[in-house]
Structure 1
């Protein structure tokens, strides 16, 4: 169970870091730049811990899928990114794919 918590922390770190990239303005703003570096450090450290028990393909699918949806939601809420019906459909398909991989596929078993 702790490995899934590690994966969740890794995803949060990556989402925070990626979201701060825009605010860093090409690493010219100090505070957002520090958030980017620390966020990615946290993300990769906790991902490495999660990978001790979670297969890399499963972990990365969850990381990427949730990361895409969460970063897009933050971009919409804080950076004025516009989303249309196709964007929502695409994100729904991503989440559905991650759910199928985790709930129905036997790929995650050791």
Structure 2
């Protein structure tokens, strides 16, 4: 159940950050409301997830997967650049999350 909460927290954070881009600096009402609701939901779900997961692992996954997802959304939806450096950074984030999860199993 904790992993489902964490996935929900990641999804809500990605929605909130995407809406943040669409809000034009919080000047558009509907995207701005989505930002607020999505971030509150994300932090609530993350708080519930860390009741049963190590905070270091949960936070690393939440921030890492969210960062990688936003980079891909920025590239695909908003036409932002996706350079070798950005892809390398995302792979390093994924590697870090995998290593954190492997150390949790010990």
Measure how far apart 1:44 and its partner are.
0.8
Secondary structure of 1:92's counterpart equals helix
Measure how far apart 1:9 and its partner are.
0.2
The answer to whether structure 1 residue 23 and structure 2 residue 31 are counterparts is no
**CA RMSD for the aligned pairs?**
1.2
The answer to whether structure 1 residue 32 and structure 2 residue 41 are counterparts is no
The answer to whether structure 1 residue 94 and structure 2 residue 93 are counterparts is yes
1:1-110 to 2 correspondences below 5 Å? 2-102=1-101, 104-106=102-104
Structure 1 gaps, min length 5: none
Structure 2 gaps, min length 5: none
Cα shift readout 1:32-54 (whole Å, capped 9, x = no counterpart) = 10110110011011111101101
TM-score by length of 1: 0.91
In the TM superposition, structure 1's runs of 4+ consecutive aligned residues that sit over 3 Å from their partners are none
The CA distance in 2 between the partners of 1:9 and 1:45, in whole Å, is: 10
Cα shift readout 1:41-74 (whole Å, capped 9, x = no counterpart) = 1101111110110111111000111011001011
Cα shift readout 1:1-23 (whole Å, capped 9, x = no counterpart) = x0100010001000110111111
